[in-house]
Amino acid sequence: MRIPVATYRLQFSPALGWRQAQEIVPYLAALGISDIYASPIFQARPGSTHGYDVVDPTRLNPELGTAEDFDILIQQVKARNMGWLQDIVPNHMAYDGTNPLLRDVLENGESSPHFSVFDIDWSHPYASLRGRVLAPFLGRPYGEALEAGDITLRYDRQGFTINYYTLQLPLKIESYIPLLTHRLSLLRRRLGEDHPDYIKFLGILYSLKNLPLAPTDYQERADQIRFIKRMLWELYTQNATLRDFLQENISLFQGEAGKPESITRLDHLLSEQHFRLAFWKVATEEINYRRFFNINELISLHMEE
């Protein structure tokens, strides 16, 4: 077994990637460093400066460089008979929509194959948290943030999301239905009930209303959702009438800042999600997921077998 004699910590970040590290390996070897102690190198939240907010532990962080650059770095280390000590993060991941496992849980709830991956108490004593996970990231109380327009609804290739500054969390799939059916008769009049794209749109709605639920085949549900998202995005990007219709609906659900009566739809939509947005201080009393220490942005994984 290799026993390190002298280690040197490399804190990888967008400012210190594989190529920058390649440049200092000869210097470290000349200093007598026997082993490089590397900070977490797997895909983290975009812009992470430390790497502990992992979103995908199966991929190298693309912000640090290419796989080829990493291979060259490792070859340089080996060529100098140096070792590599890797810091890993087995306990937690980033509480963020860029985390594919968490995103799947928030979109599908119990119908996600990853439902039990995270250490979440889905049976919280508070009714507002049963079947939901607290999302304590707001800089002020929920009602104030909602009325101020801080919480926004958006749509892109990945689907509908709830956004709070840099935080992006996905809507549960079933919540697409009220967004797509609102003023549906107007879309029918604009396109015509026999228009091919209107027929496709109705097909999307049918698929949404007939999604398989747990404990049925997870793959069947995933395939159906993939079809829904791809078809909806194609219609959105290729049909201006349908794109305008969806954007108008998003605006109607979004409401207007400073007009409390206009945010009722968004408030109701948020109440249906598998997460509950809240003021960050609420976590002191209502937290229902295990964190890394008291860092709300890091959600822990189940450690039990």
* pTM score: 0.93
The secondary structure of 220-236 as a DSSP string is HHHHHHHHHHHHHHHHH
CATH code, 100-300:
3.30.1590.10
Of 299, 290, 275, which Cα lies nearest the Cα of 129?
275
Structure tokens at 100: 């594919």
CATH code, 7-90:
3.30.750.90
Q: What are phi and psi of 61, to 5 degrees?
A: -70, 115
Q: Where are the domains of the chain?
A: 7-90, 100-300
Read off the pLDDT of residues 8-28 as tens digits, 9 standing for 90 and up.
999 999 999 999 999 999 999
CA 304 → CA 27, 101, 134, distances in Å?
Answer: 44, 18, 22
pLDDT for 305: 58
β-partners of residue 54 are 44
CA 182 → CA 17, 175, 188, 246, 250, distances in Å?
Answer: 48, 12, 12, 9, 10
Residues 58, 175, 206, 184: is their CA dihedral positive or negative?
negative
DSSP 161: E
pLDDT for 140: 97
Structure tokens at 296: 């709300």
Percent of the chain with pLDDT over 70: 99
Residues 59-69 as b/e (b if ≥16 CB within 10 A, e otherwise) read ebbebbbeeeb
pLDDT for 31: 97
pLDDT for 215: 67
pLDDT for 259: 87
- How far is 125 from 271, CA to CA, in rounded Å? 17
pLDDT for 209: 96
Q: What angle do CA 153, 63, 69 make, to 5 degrees?
A: 155
pLDDT for 213: 82
Read off the pLDDT of residues 106-159 as tens digits, 9 standing for 90 and up.
999 999 999 999 999 999 999 999 999 999 999 999 999 999 999 999 999 999
pLDDT for 44: 97
Structure tokens at 212: 């398989």
Below-70 pLDDT ranges, the chain: 215-216, 305
